Copies of this chain bind each other. A is one copy, B any other.
C-alpha cells in the first residue's frame, strides 16, 4: 500500500484497515513509543524520564484523561496506534486494537522518542545498518549502567547495538548526538564488557554479523522506560505493541 503522509496512515489505523507494524513506514516522520499510566504514577514517571533523558526522551505528556497530543493535530491516542498491550501488575494481560472500551479519565499518556527516526538519519548519511542489511531484528542488551531512580521506577539502561565501520564511528556519533529526542549520541563505543554486555547474550533480538573493521556502538534504547515501568509492577499500564508505534506529523528536525 502506498501511504504518503502521517494523517493518511493514522486514518487507516483508526478504521482498522491497517493493523501491522508502523516501523519503516513513511520515512522521515517521527514515530513515538507510548506509555499510559494512571495519574497516581504519572509525576514519578515524568520525573524518572526527565532524570534519564538518554533512554527516556520525552516528546509529550498529556493531561489526565486527554487523548490528544500536539504531535499530530486531530489524532486520537485511543485509536490511532494499530495495536496496544495492556499490562496488569507487570504482566501482559491483553492485546487490543483500540482503547475505546477501557479509556479512563485518570489516564496520563507519555510519548517517547524512538530509534527508528534516528536510523533513517544514519542511513541517509551513508552509515550501514547491519541488521537491516542482514534481514534480522535489532539486537538489544542489558547493561550495568544504572539510572537515576524515582519511587518504584529504577533499573539499568537497555541499549541497542549496531556494528559500525570504524571509519564511520565518528560520523555516526556526531550525527546521532544532534538528535537528543531520539536518544542522542552513543552511550558507549567499542568495549562491550565495560558496560556489562556479553555480545552473545542479547536482552532481545538477533546478534548481527560483524564485517571486518566493524566496531560495536551502543545507544540508549526506548525499550528502557517500558521495561522499567513493567518491573515497577504498576497495577495497570498500557503501551504500544512492539513495532506498532504512533506516527506523528513532525520531522525529527522539527523537534530539535
Contact surface of A with B, Cβ cutoff 8 Å: 39, 42-44, 46-47, 50-51, 58-64, 70, 108, 148, 150-151, 180, 256
Q: Which of B61, B70, B150 contacts A46 (CB 8 A)?
A: B61
Report whether A148 and B43 are in contact in the complex, using a CB–CB cutoff of 8 Å.
Answer: no
* Of B43, B60, B64, the contact of A63 (CB 8 Å cutoff): B43
Do residues B61 and A148 form an inter-chain contact, with CB atoms below 8 A? no
When all copies of this chain in the complex are counted, the total is 2
Q: State the CA gap A44–B61 with chains docked (Å).
A: 8
Apart from A43-B63, A50-B59, A180-B256: 11 A-B pairs, beta carbons within 8 A: A39-B43, A42-B43, A43-B46, A43-B108, A46-B46, A46-B61, A47-B60, A47-B63, A50-B58, A50-B60, A70-B148
**Bound Cα distance A46, B49 (Å):** 11
The 9 closest A-B pairs by CB, nearest first: A47-B61, A70-B148, A46-B46, A50-B61, A50-B58, A51-B70, A44-B63, A42-B43, A46-B61
* Min CB gap A103→B, angstroms: 17
> Closest CB of chain B to A164's CB: distance in Å?
22
Tell me what chain A mostly uses at the interface: helix, strand, loop, or mixed: mixed
Q: List 15 A-B contacts (CB under 8 A).
A: A43-B43, A43-B46, A43-B63, A43-B64, A43-B108, A44-B63, A46-B46, A47-B60, A47-B61, A50-B58, A50-B59, A50-B60, A50-B61, A63-B150, A70-B148
Q: Nearest Cβ distance between residue A229 and chain B, in whole angstroms?
A: 15
Write the chain B residue with the least CB distance to A47: B61
Report A122 CB to chain B, min CB distance, Å: 20
Q: Which residues of B contact A61 (CB under 8 A)?
A: 43, 46-47, 50-51
CB of A223 to closest CB in B, whole Å: 20
In the complex, what residues of B have CB within 8 A of residue A62's CB? 47
Task: Give the complex CA separation of A180 and B59 in angstroms.
Answer: 14
